[in-house]
Amino acid sequence: MKVGAVVACLLVGFVVAAPVILGGSRLSAFDLLVLAAIVVGAGLLLRWRGTGATRMLGSVLVIVGVVIAVLVAGLIWLLTQGLGRPY
């Protein structure tokens, strides 16, 4: 798989999210998790099939995607369990 194919996958993911982003509405937690999965998937493809420079980019994409997913999951946990609901 070439770098262009991975970049195309990323662009498709962001094009899918573009109406939400450009529409001014807020991204839901599900949207953020889907974007994180797209970034991690693209990073894994680059790590698996890339050359030296693209493998480094793949590593960065995997780290960024995992960090986004962990932050979103932590925020979901805080809002549902950790903070509780005000009365």
The pLDDT-based confidence of 2 (bands split at 50, 70, 90) is low
6-33 tens-digit pLDDT: 676 677 667 666 666 666 666 677 777 8
Average pLDDT score over residue span 58-74: 85
Average pLDDT score over residue span 58-80: 83
CA dist., res. 5 & res. 17, Å (int): 19
- The percent of residues above 70 in pLDDT, for the chain, comes to 66
CA dist., res. 56 & res. 60, Å (int): 6
Output the pLDDT for position 20. 62
